Structure 1
């Protein structure tokens, strides 16, 4: 437990240095805030490679009406991220991206519907395949009646790690652009084929959201 706690504090220190020194601009923030005002909560999603700064953004005071939450793997790999999320005051539901666990389904439903928490999901996490949308976020939106909201960021200068997800870490004082993409409202019921089509559509929207962030980064 000491090792996890130490890793949590070190992670928070590094994250705060990167966040607080970044030259940040947010694209389409009003889109997210309007949805939160209308629906009370949403289901934010971003690729695992964007977890670092996108998660910090979700926990920031820059979003009016946001009560942050995270779906984090129930495995031992999720222990340090859970402690870090809780350090920022975020609600945590331990479960997988496929939402096969009844306990996870119940936990995330109660968080959204009863507490107004927006549970963030990395749909290709925790171990890939990279950029492949698992059905968990869509299922969460179905049972709660909320929108799935794509989020992405681009930064310069930044380092891409040699990990399965090509994890992105901005340098201190980097230019950082966070984009809010087009929300997706899934129907309450879908066939297997319709679910697969919805997953492909959200993959497309996530990629398009990243392109928006990239274009914003190119604008001086």
Structure 2
């Protein structure tokens, strides 16, 4: 597993904040040991999994120690998440559309070609919320791996201050997965990728209703 490279030019205060954030996330991951899963994900592996950023937490727990590679933002918050995920047995590529995105994509591509399953937060790392980008589709197209669209349904607490309104699972809550295999084989390689992404986005949204409502 590759070592995570920390963000450059980190002050002493930022180092302390990052360490505290990592430990808070680790505690949150520990709480997820209480989660109960109503159904299993019967998917082919290796594959590319397309998920929304705000529903990621239960999936992180579900796929712990399962030889999965994921992506996190190349910033201090992303670094903290990556370090916590490493303790769960994940390989993590750091990058986003604004910083390090190409390097992260090539790391994911390399991992996929080694037989690893890839977890892709398709609306990350800054949104807009529930708006699918092309990364997961592009990766599935290049590797010829099956693409699975996955949603997680569970009771939780929304973090209103985050761009994606992250949903933290409540202890002992039950998680249900709604998912489908996206038919990449129906689209020729020369098909404009925006067409494929638009259809994948439509199907991902349709898997379950969004339970988030803006506060009044």
What is the deviation of 1:208?
2.8
Matched ranges for 1:20-31 at <5 A: 20-27=33-40, 29-30=41-42
Unaligned runs of 5+ in 1: 61-65, 215-220
State whether residues 54 and 152 of structure 1, in contact with CA within 8 Å, keep that contact through their aligned partners in structure 2: no
Looking at structure 2, the residues matched to 100 and 137 of structure 1 have their Cα atoms a distance apart, in angstroms, of 16
Of 170-179 and 90-99, more deviation after overlay is shown by 90-99
Correspondence for 1:75: 75
Looking at structure 2, the residues matched to 24 and 155 of structure 1 have their Cα atoms a distance apart, in angstroms, of 10
Correspondence for 1:46: 51
Looking at structure 2, the residues matched to 172 and 138 of structure 1 have their Cα atoms a distance apart, in angstroms, of 33
What is the deviation of 1:146?
0.7
TM-score (norm 2): 0.79
CA RMSD for the aligned pairs?
A: 2.6
Structure 1 residues 123, 83: CA separation in 2 closer, same or farther (over 3 Å shift)? same
Correspondence for 1:5: 19
Of 67-76 and 182-191, more deviation after overlay is shown by 182-191
Residues 3-36 of structure 1, C-alpha deviations (whole Å, 9 max, x = no match)? 323322221222221x222232125x22x1xx11
State whether residues 54 and 151 of structure 1, in contact with CA within 8 Å, keep that contact through their aligned partners in structure 2: no
More helix by share: 1
